[in-house]
Amino acid sequence: MSNSEDRMPVKATPYKHQITAYRFVNNLFGLTGDPPVPPGAALLMEMGCGKTLTTIGIIGRLYLSGKIRKVLIVAPLSILSVWREELEKYAAFQYEAHILTGSVAKKAETLGALDIGRLQIVIVNYESAWRLENQLTAFAPDVIVADEGHKLKTHNARQSKAMHRLGARAKYRLLLTGTVITNQALDVFSQYKFLNPAIFGQSFYTFRNRYFNMLGYGNYTPVLKRSMEPELMDRLHSIAFRTTKAECLDLPETTDIVRYVELELKTARLYRDLVKNSYAELAKGEVTATNILTRLLRLSQLTGGFLGSDDGVVSTVSTAKLDALSDIIDEAVSEEQKLVVIARFLPEIHAIEKLLKEKGLRYSLICGGVQDRDVQIEQFQRDPDLKVFIGQIATAGLGITLTAASTMVFYSLDYSMSNFEQTKARIHRVGQKHNCTYLYLTAKDTVDEKVLTALRTKADLARTLVDDYRHGSNPFAEGGEKDAGNV
C-alpha cells in the first residue's frame, strides 16, 4: 500500500491506536496483500477510544480502493444519528447516508430508491434489521458494520440470526464493541458467527462442548475449560484489534463527546409550542435574567423527558434521553467499566434508578435527601460489582471522589458554571489512573445546546439570552430566530 493509501481518509488527525487498528483491518481485508476468506474484523475498543472514526476510515479506504459501493451500519436506535453526524464531521470521501426511519414500508421504500452510482451508507437499528431482512438482503451491502456488537451475544435471538444471515452474504464485516466477552466467554460465539464462522464454527453446541464444561444444578452453567482457554483467546484475537483507554497513551486527559438525541415527534411539537408560549409570555412583563431562566427551566425539564402541570403533576413526555443512556450503560457494563451519571431534576433521577433496577444493576446515589453520602461513595469506589453512580448536579458536585469511574454522563445540566466544573472534577482528580471521558446527552435543536455551549465557553447564559431578546430574537429558540413562529 502506498503512502497515500496508507493514510486514513478522514478529516482529522487520528491517534496512534486508531492508525494501528486501521492498518490491522486493512491487512485482514486484503488491502495490503492476499485477502482472506471470509474477511471479518472486530474492533474491541473501549468507550472513548474512537471506534467510529476508525471505522469511517476503513469504509473510506475500501471505497476509494474500488472494493465497495454499499454499506450497512446496524446500531442501537439511540446512536443512529451519531453515525450521520460523525460521517459529516470526519468522512474525507463522497457518500450518501440514509437513516431508515418510519414504518417498515417507508424504510423499504427508502432502500428501493437509492442511487448506487455513488457510495451509499444505510444506517438502521437492530430491531429494524431483522424485520427488514428481505429488503436488506436485496440491498446486498458490500460491508456490514455491527456497532455495539455485544447486542448479538445471544445466538438464537431473532436479531442475531438475521445478522448471521446478512453477514454471510456480505464481502466484509466489522464488529465494534468494547469487548466481545460480556458476562461470560460463551458470548463470543454469536458475534463471531456474524464476523467469520470459520473461527468458531456454525454450531453453537459444538462450540460450547469444545470450550466449556456444563456444571451446576441441571448442568446449566457453562465454565470455560482451562485447557482450552489459550486456543479460544488465540482464535478470538486472530481477527480482533483490542485496546483500552489506559493503553492509548496519546489520548488527551479529558475528552468531551456530545451525544445528540432526537425528541419523539409528539414531544418535539410540544417543545416547539412551549418555546412559542415562553417567548410570548416574556413580552407581558419585565425581561430580566430571572424571568428568562425561569422559562428556560421548563424547557430543560421537557428535554429530559418530564413536564410539570400548573397543579404540580409531573408527566413523562419523552424517553429519548433515557433510551440513549440505556445503551451507554449497556456498553459500559459490557466493558466492565464503572459509570457516573449526573442529572439535574429528581424525576430524571428516579427514572434512571428505575432503569438500573430493570437491568438488575446495583448503584450508588447522592441527591437531595440522601443522608448516607459517605456510604454511597465508599460503595461505588470499593465494590467492583456496583457499576453506576447517580448524582444530582446540585448536591453531588462538591467534596466527593469518584475516581473508580473514568466516564461521566451528563443526562442534564443546570446553568451554574461552578456546579459544572466542580462536578466534572469528581472523576478528573488525584487518584484517577485513566483519561476521562464526558458524554453530554443533548436534545437536538433545543435549549440543551445553548446551555452546553455557554458552560463550555464559560459564557454568561442569562446575559446572553437577555441580549438575544433585546436584539429581537427568541432567546429560547436554537439559532435565535427573529420570528417566534418559525421555531
Which letter, b or e, does each residue of 180-206 get, where b requires 16 or more Cβ atoms within 10 Å of its Cβ? bbbeebbbbbbbbbbbbbebbeeeeee
Domain boundary assignment for the chain: 3-247, 252-487
Whole-angstrom distance, CA of residue 300 vs CA of residue 303: 5
Supply the pLDDT for residue 100: 93
- pLDDT(130) > 60: yes
Supply the pLDDT for residue 282: 83
Kindly report which listed range (156-165, 175-184, 226-235, 438-447) carries the lowest average pLDDT score: 175-184
Residue 431's pLDDT band (cuts 50, 70, 90):
confident
Predicted confidence (pLDDT) per residue in 286-304, tens digit: 788 888 888 899 999 999 9
The larger pLDDT score, comparing residue 397 to residue 200, is at 200
Supply the pLDDT for residue 248: 85
Report whether CATH 3.30.460.80 matches the domain 252-487. Answer: no
> Which of 199-208, 302-311, 329-338, 468-477 tops mean pLDDT?
199-208
Supply the pLDDT for residue 449: 94
State the sign of the Cα–Cα–Cα–Cα dihedral 323, 243, 403, 300: negative
Supply the pLDDT for residue 196: 94
Supply the pLDDT for residue 487: 33
* Sheet with strand 407-410: strands edge to edge: 254-261, 436-443, 407-410, 339-343, 388-392, 363-366
Supply the pLDDT for residue 253: 87
Mean pLDDT in residue range 354-369: 94
C-alpha cell at 200: 468458531
Q: What does residue 4 show for φ and ψ, rounded to 5 degrees? A: -65, -40
Whole-angstrom distance, CA of residue 49 vs CA of residue 44: 10
Pick one of 3.40.50.10810, 3.90.1150.10, 1.20.120.80, 1.10.645.10 as the CATH number of 3-247.
3.40.50.10810
- pLDDT(395) > 50: yes
Predicted confidence (pLDDT) per residue in 451-472, tens digit: 999 999 988 888 888 888 888 8
Rounded to the nearest 5 percent, the helix, strand and coil shares of the chain are 45, 20, 35
Bridge partners (DSSP) of residue 147 are 176
- pLDDT(277) > 70: yes
CATH topology match: 3-247 vs 252-487: yes
Proportion of the chain above pLDDT 90, given as a percent? 65
Count of beta carbons in the 10 Å neighbourhood of residue 31 = 19
Whole-angstrom distance, CA of residue 468 vs CA of residue 112: 45
| Entry pTM | 0.84
Mean pLDDT in residue range 325-354: 94
Whole-angstrom distance, CA of residue 319 vs CA of residue 306: 9
Q: Do the beta carbons of residue 122 and residue 100 sit within 8 Å? A: yes
Angle at CA of residue 72, ends 337 and 100, nearest 5°: 95
Q: Read out DSSP for 170-199?
A: -SEEEEEES-S-SSSGGGHHHHHHHH-HHH
3-state secondary structure of 363: strand
